[in-house]
Amino acid sequence: MNGRTKLISAVLLIAFLLPLNAYDRYGRTSKAKSGVNDGFSDFWRSLLIPGWGEYKLGYKKQAAVFLLTDVLMIGTAAGLNYYSGVRTDEYRDFAETYAGVNASGKSDSYWVHISNYDNTLEFNEQKNIDRYFAERYTDEEDFWDWESDAKRERYDDIRVSAENSDTWFYYTLGGIALNHFISALNASAKASAVKAQVTQIFDTEGNITNKLTLTYDF
């Protein structure tokens, strides 16, 4: 490669690397720098741990609210799950003691049935009237006979308490998931809503003017 070829190649390389901006009379160009965060990383941070994305962006109060909400709901869910388990064991033990129930292998519907009928005979008679013969209990392992209506009603109160706790447990799990999702959306919106651009302009006299532009996307 001769000297002329080297010179042409160098000129072409420099021309390619230079930004396509207008030159001022001193040979300087206007420059613009912009910062845009698409919010993707902050979305996943807050989806994993509510408030993490907000904290990284500097919204510490919002981060604290989302994180505290998550901790409280997790604690509530754990408490409800524990309480439901305790009450479930309680009503089953109660039925074994006062209705002669064999608790092993019983379906959820069985525990509801024994709360509505004093004994197996009464239940089966009603199924005969309704002509739901297949729903009758014929195995002695499924028989029950409450000592009194008061005992049956007490049993039902305990059972309903356990079921309500279980229902609220699942509602709380839904709340936890929702809190994660809302925090993720919020962090993503906060990250991508504000766009900053700094522009450096040279006038015809060679003076430099810095211009800051902030844009918020609604």
* pLDDT number for residue 85: 97
pLDDT of residue 192: 76
Instruction: State yes or no: pLDDT of 9 exceeds 80.
Output: no
Tell me the sheet residues that pair with 213: 197
Report the candidate in 5, 25, 30, 1 with the shortest Cα–Cα distance to residue 209: 30
Per-residue model confidence (pLDDT) at position 2:
52
Q: What is the pLDDT of residues 155-167, one digit of tens each?
A: 999 999 999 999 9
Question: Where is average pLDDT lowest: 143-147, 182-186, 202-206?
Answer: 202-206
The mean pLDDT value for 102-110 works out to 94
Mean pLDDT of the chain: 81
The domain limits of the chain are: 19-100+145-216
Residues 38-91 pLDDT 10s: 578 889 999 999 999 999 988 999 999 999 999 999 999 999 999 999 999 999
Continuous segment of H or E residues that includes residue 67: helix 60-99
Q: What integer pLDDT is reported at residue 27 of this predicted model?
A: 42
User: Which residues fall within 8 angstroms of residue 12, CB to CB, at 6 or more apart?
Assistant: none
Average pLDDT of span 105-110: 94
Express each pLDDT in 167-194 by its tens digit.
999 999 999 999 999 999 999 888 876 5
Give the residue, 124 or 22, on which the prediction is more confident.
124
User: What global pTM score does this model have?
Assistant: 0.67
Q: What percent of the chain shows pLDDT beyond 70?
A: 71
Evaluate the CA torsion angle 148, 152, 157, 158 in order and state its sign: positive
Share of the chain above pLDDT 90, in %: 65
Neighbours of 213 (CB within 10 A): 11
